[in-house]
Amino acid sequence: MRKLARPGGLSRRRLLGAAAALAPVTAASPLPLSGTAAAAAPDPYAGLAQEAVTAFRSAWDAYRRLAWGRDELRPISGTGSDFFIPGSTLGLTIIEALDTLYLMELDDDLAAGAEWVKNDLVLDQNAPVQVFETIIRLVGGLLSGHLATRDPVLLDRARELADRLLPAFTRSPTGAPYRYVNLSTGAVSGKENNLAEIGTCITEFGELSRLTGDRRYYDAAKKALRAVYDRRSRIDLVGTALNVETGAWTGTTATLDPPVDSFFEYLWDGWELYRDPDLRTWYTTLTAAVFRHLAERRDGRLWFRQADMTTGRTTGRFQSELTAFYAGLLAQSGRIADGEAYHDSWAAVLAAHRLPPEMIDYTTLRAVDPSYPLRPEYVDSCLFLWLITKKDRYRARARDMFLRQKKYCKVRNGYTAISDVTTRPMKQSDLTPAYWFSENAKYYYLLFAKARRFDYASNYLTTEGNVLRGLR
């Protein structure tokens, strides 16, 4: 998940003001390479950069051979599977991989993927899809694919898909979106929705507004964020879920873990991208409450507990690997020491386990959910802490994680998820999640390579790893 990074912290170049940032733009020629990307002294990570490309190619070639056009690859059985609609596909892996192919300069594969989107992607499907996943993975992937290829058809497909999703927002009495919408009929369902799914859309919808000049997308996304913020408790905590029709809280636990996580991320990212002061105020207000009521130290390590949103009373001490993204977000929003401390906590988890479990009891580091679905969040934070601090320890931690993933997750047809990290040997699952192509492979490559097509000085990656700023 994540990302907005400019090394140097307070010396960041500011983006355009909100109104100007949303103005329509026209396709530009690729930017010339600067000295940032030029080869300098020998880099001890250069060999790993090629290994990262080889790892990606092993999975991508298997996908093309065994599951082309399907949503996801099952590398052990050698088949494909559907993610959004049983018995039908939206080409999830292809769309997730577009900008990774561009960054790695795999241009023939990029062209094949773009052609599939233009000729074979069917959006008019009479079935409900999960709005949040569709926005961050398909709309975001189409937008970054358009920015990489400058192909206007990919932007058209992104806009068509967003238009099919808008009823989830516009038909809601509160502005918080319904959880599902039928792509063909616009019928909405799922009136109880969680915060991550309500609030993780302003960068994808904001970028669509910027590229098309149509503010409907940005305005819908901001209204959804406001629907949550305006219902915060008197101590400025938010819960986990709302009834989008009544606005009543249906989940009253305050937490950074799913199903809340990326809600906080997109408040900050919306501010960074579009300079909307409301979003900065909402982020800083809620983050201050997080540190007042949820942050604690256990054995010298920084963690974030669960608490009642009204009273602040502790209700749990667990942490999801998905929440490891928060280390990078804290650093990006100016709390660099806190971000580094929180990443140290997750480094301790890796010292206790061969791969990070999906959920831990952070008082003991015991695995509560022992699965490892090839999550990218730990390495995601490695990338952005390295970009901000320039400390080699974050590249070294990413190298360690890359080698662990290679040791335990590599199979004949690429990489697979793990169902239990505590067994010896580990129990392998049979899935290469599409986000592996968009996130894990991309983060390793950007950390280890001097990517000629990436601006390391000014960039933005979405919670799904889609590059919306910084493609050269």
189-244 per-position pLDDT tens digit: 999 999 999 999 999 999 999 999 999 999 999 999 999 999 999 999 999 999 99
- Contacts of 334-342 with CB under 8 Å at 24 or more apart are 334/9, 334/10, 335/287, 336/9, 336/388, 336/389, 338/291, 338/302, 339/381, 339/385, 340/385, 340/389, 341/301, 341/302, 342/302, 342/303
Residues lower than pLDDT 70 in the chain: 1-41
Q: What are the structure tokens assigned to 13, written together?
A: 């170049």
The answer to the question of residue 34 being in a domain is no
CA-to-CA distance for 206 and 220, rounded, in angstroms? 9
Beta strands at 79-81 and 72-74: parallel, antiparallel or unpaired? antiparallel
In a domain, 121, yes or no: yes
In a domain, 383, yes or no: yes
pLDDT at 29: 34
Cα torsion for 448, 453, 455, 461, to the nearest 10°? -80
Per the domain annotation, does 68 fall within a domain?
Answer: yes
What amino acid occupies position 127?
A
Exposed/middle/buried for residue 250 (C-beta within 10 Å: 0-12, 13-18, 19+): middle
What's the total number of domains in the chain? Answer: 1
Q: Is 437 helix (H, G, I), strand (E, B) or coil?
A: helix
Instruction: Please report whether residue 291 resides in a domain.
Output: yes
Cα–Cα distance, 283 to 280 (Å, whole number) = 5
Dist. CA 224–CA 245, nearest whole Å: 12
**Strands annotated E in 237-309:** 241-243, 249-251, 253-254, 295-298, 301-304, 306-308
In the three-class reduction of DSSP (H, G, I as helix; E, B as strand; rest coil), residue 410 is classed as: strand
Beta bridge partner(s), residue 81: 72
pLDDT at 43: 83
For residue range 135-161, what is the model confidence (pLDDT) as tens digits? 999 999 999 999 999 999 999 999 999
Instruction: Look up the CATH number of the domain holding residue 9.
Output: 1.50.10.10
pLDDT at 108: 98
CA 62 from centroid of its chain's CA atoms: 24
Question: Among 216, 121, 91, which Cα is nearest to 166's?
Answer: 216
Nearest to 343 by CA among 302, 402, 373: 302
DSSP for residue 466: -
Sequential DSSP letters for 311-357:
T--EEE-EEEGGGGGHHHHHHHTT-HHHHHHHHHHHHHHHHHSSS--
> What amino acid occupies position 471?
L
The tokens describing 333, both together, are 């929003």
Q: Is position 252 within any domain?
A: yes
User: What is the domain extent for residue 201?
Assistant: 4-25+48-453+461-469
Going by C-alpha positions, the residue among 306, 329, 201 that lies closest to residue 258 is: 306
Is 271 among the domain residues? yes
From the centroid of its chain, how far is CA 43? 28
Residue 436 is predicted with a pLDDT of 98
What per-residue confidence (pLDDT) applies to 22? 60
Instruction: Please enumerate in sequence order all residues whose Cβ is within 8 A of that of 4, keeping only pairs 6 or more positions apart, or say none.
Output: 268, 269, 272, 273, 332, 459, 460, 461, 469
On whether residue 36 sits in a domain, the answer given is: no
Q: What is the dihedral of CA 110, 111, 114, 120, to 10 degrees?
A: -120
As a whole number of angstroms, the distance between CA 132 and CA 51 comes to 33
